[in-house]
Amino acid sequence: MSGIIIEPIEKYGLTISADSRSKPLFSKIGVVGAGKEGRNIINMAATAGMDVVFLDESNERISFVLGELEKVMDQKITGWGLTQSEKKVIMNRIKPTLEYEDFKGCDLVIECTRYTESGRRSTPLRKNIFKRLEDILDTDAIIATNGSTIIISELAADLEHKERCVSLYFPVSHPDARILEIVSGMYTSEEVYQKMEVFARLINYKPHRINESNGNVSLRMVATMLNEACQILLERITSLEDIEETFTIIYGQRYGIFRLADIIGIERLVTLMEAMFNDFGQKHYKPNPLLWKLYRSNQLGVRTGKGFYIYDENGNTVSPNKSLYN
């Protein structure tokens, strides 16, 4: 007996043919920039069964990113949340690249270029990325950015198909915060918005429709609350611990507001609040001096090991950062 006969299946369809086969939405997506948030998106999309291509700047960076992705999955395995074989399947769907050409065929590419150490993102650089993506992608592919500041209309402005651009914000406060803020810009078409709702559901997020506004909804609410909490601390009305407990016990939040600020990242909040202050002119958006103090001393929260709290290498709190307000 000979071995196994292998043949293509297509000719055995009754109604399916190569032409009639419709491409499933979001079978392949791309991510530009695999920082922490980019990696999170890569992981979620691949887990949901999508092929994911990600681009980063060097081979060293790519091996770092792949290592980090594996680390997150290994943690899940130790926590009995994933099996070795599932990890293998998921990792198999993830393809790194240094070339924009490899985004060809993607239905969606999300730009997640990282914050610089100072917390700013370069608009010209992001515009350039959008342009390069437009050159490669099909005309109906969606180009998205991951962020919470007003930017999408600006990033879309120079493109030929502006209606395909959309902004997304994946809340980072905790793993169960599975609401995707989908921001329609000036040009975003309803069709593109609707497709993004489908994407959100595919990765197990609940979509929220947001009209372009600095801070969207989630961060805008946190910003004012955080400013008020900093002011209470500055006025020495009560201790940091008690303000945190007010949040966790009275209002039933998972984390206190300062812990939350450290998780979101001080640099992100300060830049955002500055932008909001410029936009709306309201004083309560102006970053509190305590936030500036942290920002200027590069104590940016969990990521740098110090913020309102001091953290160990695993990101667990060691103690409040007393040097801040003593």
Partner 1 sequence: MKILVLNCGSSSIKYKLFEMESKETVAQGGIEKIGMKGSFLRLILPDGQKVMLEGEILEHRAGIEYILGVLLSEKYGCIRSLDEIGAVGHRVVHGGERFNSSVLITEEVIKMLNDCIELAPLHNPPNLKGIYAIQELMPHTPQVGVFDTAFHQTMPDYAYMYGIPYVLYEKYGIRRYGFHGTSHRYVSKRACEFLGVPYKEQRIITAHIGNGGSVTAIKNGKSIDTSMGMTPVEGLIMGTRSGDLDPGVITYIMEKEHMGTKGITTLLNKFSGVLGISGISSDMREIQESILQGDKRAILAMSTYNYRIKKYVGAYAAALGGVDILVFTGGVGENQAITRSDVCKDMEFMGIELDEEVNKAVRAKEMVISKPSSKVKVLIIPTDEELTIARDTVEILQG
Residues in contact with partner 1 by CB under 8 A are 1-10, 12-16, 21, 24, 49, 51, 79-83, 89, 92-93
Nearest to 104 by CA among 126, 135, 129, 79: 135
- For the bound state, the minimum distance from the C-beta of residue 39 to partner 1, rounded and expressed in Å, comes to 21
Shorter beta-carbon distance to partner 1: residue 206 or 209: 206
C-alpha to C-alpha distance for 71 and 199, rounded to whole angstroms: 25
Shorter beta-carbon distance to partner 1: residue 88 or 120: 88
- For the bound state, the minimum distance from the C-beta of residue 107 to partner 1, rounded and expressed in Å, comes to 14
Place of tokens 């400013």: 227
Q: What are phi and psi of 270, to 5 degrees?
A: -65, -50
- For the bound state, the minimum distance from the C-beta of residue 108 to partner 1, rounded and expressed in Å, comes to 18
Shorter beta-carbon distance to partner 1: residue 3 or 67: 3
- For the bound state, the minimum distance from the C-beta of residue 1 to partner 1, rounded and expressed in Å, comes to 6
Asked if 115 and 147 touch (Cβ cutoff 8 Å), the reply is no
Alpha carbon 4 to its chain centroid, in Å, reads 45
- For the bound state, the minimum distance from the C-beta of residue 11 to partner 1, rounded and expressed in Å, comes to 8
Alpha carbon 83 to its chain centroid, in Å, reads 25
Shorter beta-carbon distance to partner 1: residue 36 or 93: 93
Place of tokens 């009560």: 238
Q: Is the dihedral of CA 231, 233, 234, 237 positive or negative?
A: positive
Shorter beta-carbon distance to partner 1: residue 46 or 65: 46
Helix, strand or coil, per DSSP, at residue 87: helix
